[in-house]
Amino acid sequence: MSRISTTFQSTVTLDTDEGYAECPADFDIEGSEYPAEPYSWGEGRGQEVSVRAELTSATFGGLTLTRQQVEAITGADHLLKQEAAVSTEYAEAFRVGQAA
């Protein structure tokens, strides 16, 4: 098993009073890569990746927003869903060698 601890750039969508705004964002990534459970006949399935993304900052116009500010603008549930989507995005990029 190997530990994953890095940063990842993606986007976050702010649900503002004026509509939706997609903004560049930085995320902390924590997780691990480990051997997948083998098939019932014993053949290996390769590696699995389990990660969690947490927003650290987003850029809206010329402003840098903290996680707390983004949560206040868009709501906690909306932010958690976006962090889950970024977790999936990173895991896929890691599997194909596009993320470290």
Q: Are strands 63-66 and 19-35 parallel, antiparallel or unpaired?
A: unpaired
For residues 100 and 7, give the distance between their C-alpha atoms in angstroms, rounded to a whole number: 9
Q: Say if residue 5's pLDDT is above 80.
A: yes
Report which of residues 17 and 80 the model is more confident about. Answer: 80
For the chain, the structural domain boundaries read 2-95
Residue 3's pLDDT is 86
Per-residue pLDDT tens over the stretch 31-90? 988 877 878 887 877 778 889 999 999 999 899 999 999 999 999 999 999 999 999 999
Q: Are strands 63-66 and 47-60 parallel, antiparallel or unpaired?
A: antiparallel
13 pLDDT band, cuts 50/70/90, is very high
